[in-house]
Structure 1
Amino acid sequence: MSLNHPIVEQSFAIIDREIGKHNLNPSEYAISRRVIHTTADFDYLNLLEFKHNGISSALVALQNGIPIVTDVTMVKQGIKTLVGKTFNNPIIAAIDFADVALPGKTRTETGLLKCWSKYPDAVYVIGNAPTALIALCECLKKQNKIIPPLIIGAPVGFVSVIESKQALKQLEIPQIIVKGRKGGSPVAAAIVNALLVLAKEG
């Protein structure tokens, strides 16, 4: 039984027809196609970057019920349904861990630092806050023992966004990055949902 709603499958068929030939492997394409379905933006066929065996590492982690840490609640809400239909991974929104921001930091960044201390081996999903992604990269640079199974770097916007993605790219950590300024919570959630389907059906 497919985890996808019939309308989603119809949309995928339309996307397949419009894209035609491409250079992505089946798993990369499944993720890109779901993001395109979510955004109606075909640029994502070329904007997603998959590095350091991020997909295969994430599939194993999800199947084993590893926690998923999101930066904001919107990403958490966007993956909750499919998590419930697949592996029931704990989902933690970093922003919920910080009622007040630490001096000089955002609430999301503050919450992310707390999540890192509690869930260092989680799948990390950043769809909104570049400050949280930068903080996570700084934590990883300070140690080399713990390697998360996947970091999704998909913050959107203009301030510190490209810098945060560059910081992630410099780390030899399993990762999926949205290149440039595009991204956002719906995109980050779509990437996770595609991974959940691949992990369940694979």
Structure 2
Amino acid sequence: MNTPSSLNHPIVEQSFTLIDQEIGQHNLTLLEYQIARRVIHSTADFEFINLLKFSPNSIDIGVKALRNQTPIITDVTMVRQGIVNLVAKTFNNPIITAIENVTRTLPGKTRTETGLLECSQQYPHGIYVIGNAPTALLALCQQIKEKKFKPSLIIGVPVGFVSVLESKKMLAQIDIPQIRAEGRKGGSPVAAAIVNALLILAWENKI
């Protein structure tokens, strides 16, 4: 299952080999596993082999969107920092960080939530990557339900306790291409790992 890539450091490839040996059999497709394996490499948490969920054709859709240089909208700077180097080496997609995109204050909403709502108007077909802000994910899902915008893909992996389970449940119920992590686990490293895995799949022309 280990697929060498010039974009991967040899130590990463060695880690992948060790992960393959420890996981053994699993129920993911080959492409899903390549994404899950990178998440496990970033977190050292093997539970993600079961926590990650993929809507039909979400990987194909994400790969095509990246190749088309679709803007990537991240909720926080840490996610941006985790993908910026590989984006620059591949398709050079614009990366917009929602928390830095705030031009106004909305009562009762966090800065990240406000920034993402503004991004949904500016980049309605973007790839949205949520690693930390469950309230922002809830707001995005509501916008989609109200047919106010339709992103190419949502990567929904917020981490924590408040509104995290609710946001992931709402995402699972909407008809939009998505990759999400069930339960409370997630975070910036998980979000960045998923984007980076998609970038490598797209760059290697595996799909």
Instruction: Provide TM-score, normalisation by structure 1.
Output: 0.97
Q: For 1:6-21, what aligned pairs fall within 5 Å after superposition? A: 6-21=10-25
1:94-146 deviation digits (Å, cap 9, x = unpaired): 000126642100000000011000001000000000011011011111117x5
Q: Give the SS at the match of 1:52.
A: coil
Paired residue for 1:40?
44
Deviates more, 1:156-165 or 1:146-155: 146-155
Task: Pick the aligned partner of 1:2 from 2, 6, 9.
Answer: 6
What is the identity, as a one-letter code, of the residue corresponding to 1:177?
Answer: R
Residue type of the partner of 1:161? Answer: V
2:129 alignment counterpart: 125
Match of 2:180, SS?
A: strand
Give the alignment's Cα RMSD to 1 decimal. 1.2
SS of match in other structure, 2:73: strand
> Partner residue of 1:113?
117
2:28 is equivalent to residue 28 of structure 1: no
CA offsets 1:42-82 (integer angstroms, 9 cap, x no match): 00000000013211100000011000000001000100011
Alpha-carbon distance in 1 for matches of 2:84, 2:181: 22
Partner residue, 2:153: 150
Partner of 1:177: 180
Unmatched 5+ stretches in structure 1: none
1:187 equivalent in alignment to 2:203: no
Does 2:68 align with 1:64?
yes
- Select the residue among 138, 141, 145 that pairs with 1:141: 145
| SS of match in other structure, 1:121 | coil
Letter matched to residue 11 of structure 1: S
Q: Deviations over 1:149-199 (max 9, x none)?
A: 210110000000000011111101000010000000110000000000001
Q: Give the TM-score normalised by structure 2.
A: 0.94
- Paired residues for 1:93-104 under 5 Å: 93-98=97-102, 101-104=105-108
User: What is the rounded CA distance, in whole Å, between the counterparts of 1:34 and 1:52 in structure 2?
Assistant: 20
Question: Is the Cα–Cα contact under 8 Å of residues 62 and 89 in structure 1 kept in the other structure?
Answer: yes
For the 8 Å contact 1:99–1:107, the answer to whether it is kept is no
Q: Does the residue aligned with 1:152 lie in a helix, a strand or coil?
A: strand
Q: State the aligned residue count.
A: 201
Runs of 4+ in 1 over 6 A off after TM superposition: none
CA distance in 2, matches of 1:131, 1:189: 19
**Matches of 1:101 and 1:32, distance apart in 2:** 37
Q: Which runs of 5+ in 2 are unaligned?
A: none
